[in-house]
């Protein structure tokens, strides 16, 4: 089936952006699609540059592919304009007329809401406030109403469905992760949307029939940038600082130091079943002892080998995903691909 989907299996920031960019770099996808809000940052190290994207698909690295923002995308126009320039996609960006513009009043409302910023730990981009207005059917500004975006506006569902009919392949890039899903996550410490594969399809205007491989992305540990549950949380400052430096575990949008905990088997199992994951992508394996990549996956020792063995339990969950990608460094091509 032609639409591969990438989802986060933990508390967001699993490295979805890098995995999406890696998959897209192989050139198999004609379209890279993103949905959701700019509270989610995708960080991509590509051609000696660091791209921190809040709205653009990581798939921009494939120059031949078209970039698509669906009706379930929430846009801060100034930020998007910067990303369009940075990624050079002026001539290959398509935006659904009903993507929502996050207005300064949304951002101000969220940042001025002590409960959202405190108890919930909102990133403060205004996504939640814009979603709330949409649910309330209040007057909103859509992408079609924004003169600066006019040239990118296209009927996305029609365009994508026509492309599917002609055999095009697509990568649908999800945001956040299982713990942050408004439906299946750790309410109330969640974001304002569901963050699972079926919702991403709907937000893009695609039906479920076209879902291909579903990649669930995991780190060997769990991070959370806000409050909420973190199992086996690491409190030792010295150990933590290694994650924050070598592991770059600092919020890409919020700038906050991420909390770190152990790999959570319960959350991982739910991720596989709720998303019907068929493939696992592991990132940050280089933070574990024994991840000596130079000699290939067979020579993982120590903690790294132990972690990979733990994943057998995740693969035992129906529909029995296979470990497919192992990322061992920040660079786009620092990825082992297993058959
Ligand atoms: P909001 O969606 O910005 O309101 O944030 C709600 C909760 O989800 C907070 O705990 C945030 O830190 C968390 N969150 C939202 N987006 C992301 C993300 O992309 N990565 C990690 N955490 C996120
Ligand atoms: Mg992120």
Cα 14 to ligand 2 centre (Å): 7
Q: Exposed, middle or buried, 223 (CB in 10 Å: 0-12/13-18/19+)? A: buried
Yes or no: say if 112 and 119 are a contact pair by the CB < 8 Å rule: no
Between CA 273 and CA 237 the distance in angstroms is 35
Q: Determine whether 13 is an active site residue.
A: yes
In the set 42, 98, 106, 284, the catalytic residue is 42
Angle between helices 265-275 and 302-315 (to 10 degrees): 40
Domains of the chain: 3-337 (3.40.440.10)
Mutate which of 122, 124, 188, 257 for ligand 1 pocket (most atoms within 8 A of beta carbon): 122
The CA-atom distances, in angstroms, between 310 and each of 151, 265, 315 are 49, 9, 9
**Who contacts 106 (Cβ-Cβ below 8 Å, separation ≥6)?**
126, 127, 129, 130, 133
Mean pLDDT estimate for the chain: 96
- The pLDDT tens digits for 193-237 are 999 999 999 999 999 999 999 999 999 999 999 899 999 999 999
Mean pLDDT for the stretch of residues 69-78: 98
- The pLDDT tens digits for 2-38 are 999 999 999 999 999 999 999 999 999 999 999 999 9
**Who contacts 41 (Cβ-Cβ below 8 Å, separation ≥6)?**
13, 17, 52, 53, 54, 251, 252, 253
Half-sphere exposure of residue 79, counting CA atoms within 13 Å on the CB side?
21
The structure's pTM equals 0.97
Contacts 24+ apart (CB under 8 A), 248-252: 248/43, 248/330, 249/13, 249/223, 251/13, 251/41, 251/123, 251/225, 252/13, 252/41, 252/42, 252/43, 252/52
- The pLDDT tens digits for 261-311 are 999 999 999 999 999 999 999 999 999 999 987 766 668 999 999 999 999
222 alpha carbon, closest ligand: 1
- The residue contributing the CA closest to ligand 1 atom 8 is 191
In the set 4, 13, 194, 264, the catalytic residue is 13
């Amino acid at each position: 089936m032609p639409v591969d989907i990438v989802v986060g299996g933990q508390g967001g920031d699993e490295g979805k952006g890098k995995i999406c960019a890696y998959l897209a770099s192989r050139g198999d996808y004609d379209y890279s699609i993103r949905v959701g809000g700019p509270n989610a940052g995708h960080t991509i190290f590509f051609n000696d540059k660091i791209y921190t994207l809040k709205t653009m698909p990581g798939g921009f690295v494939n120059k031949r592919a078209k970039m698509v923002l669906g009706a379930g995308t929430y846009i801060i126009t100034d930020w998007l304009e910067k990303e369009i320039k940075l990624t050079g996609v002026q001539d290959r960006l398509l935006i659904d007329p009903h993507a929502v513009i996050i207005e300064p009043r949304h951002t101000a409302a969220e940042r001025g809401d002590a409960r959202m910023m405190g108890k919930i730990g909102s990133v403060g981009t205004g996504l939640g406030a814009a979603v709330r207005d949409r649910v309330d059917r209040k007057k909103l500004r859509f992408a079609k109403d924004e003169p600066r975006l006019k040239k990118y506006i296209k009927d996305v569902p029609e365009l994508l469905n026509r492309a599917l009919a002609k055999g095009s392949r697509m990568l649908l890039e999800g945001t956040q992760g299982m713990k942050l899903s408004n439906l299946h996550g750790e309410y109330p410490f969640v974001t304002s949307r569901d963050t699972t594969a079926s919702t991403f399809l709907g937000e893009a205007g695609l039906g479920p029939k076209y879902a291909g491989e579903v990649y669930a992305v995991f780190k060997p540990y769990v991070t959370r940038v806000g409050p909420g549950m973190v199992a086996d949380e690491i409190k030792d400052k010295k150990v933590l600082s290694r994650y924050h430096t070598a592991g770059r575990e600092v919020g890409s949008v919020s700038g906050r130091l991420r909390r770190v905990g152990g790999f959570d088997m319960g959350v991982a199992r739910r991720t596989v079943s709720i998303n019907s994951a068929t493939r696992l992508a592991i990132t940050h394996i280089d933070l574990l002892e024994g991840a000596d990549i130079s000699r290939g996956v067979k020579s993982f020792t120590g903690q790294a080998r132990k972690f990979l063995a733990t994943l057998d339990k995740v693969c035992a969950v129906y529909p029995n995903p296979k470990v497919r990608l192992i990322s061992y460094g920040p660079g786009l091509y620092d990825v082992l691909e297993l058959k």
